[in-house]
Amino acid sequence: MAKEWAKKFYKSKAWRQCRESYISNVYGLCERCKQPGKILHHIEYLTPNNITDPYVSLNHDNLEYLCQDCHNKEHHEKYSPVRSDVMFDDEGNLVKVGVWCERI
């Protein structure tokens, strides 16, 4: 859901054309996992200050097509206290996940 300050941009002809051409260039696939994509993500997040700068908002070099799962990871894992590289073993010790678990 677009923020109020971004709604006009996302309804613009320029954005629709940019979006369509980008998705076509990546064959409609998520650029991280190669599953069907869903969201055209701005690598440098759009803000009220940069949304009118086409080098940020309409630049293919600042875009990435992602599936819902990869987009959620992009936005939520950066700020989540949960880590996927460690776990607790049967004795409650924190260990690194891998072929051979190492105690931390």
Query: CA separation (Å) from 90 to 23, 70, 94, 103?
Result: 45, 30, 10, 12
Q: How much is the pLDDT for 38?
A: 94
pLDDT at 3: 87
Q: Strands (DSSP E) along 5-103, which ranges?
A: 39-42, 63-66, 86-88, 94-96, 102-103
Identify the structural domains of the chain with CATH numbers, from first to last.
4-103 (3.40.1800)
- Are the CB atoms for 39 and 54 separated by under 8 Å? no
pLDDT for residue 81: 54
**In the prediction, which pLDDT does 98 show?**
65
Radius of gyration (Cα) for the chain, nearest Å? 18
Residues of the chain short of pLDDT 50, as ranges, are 99, 101-104
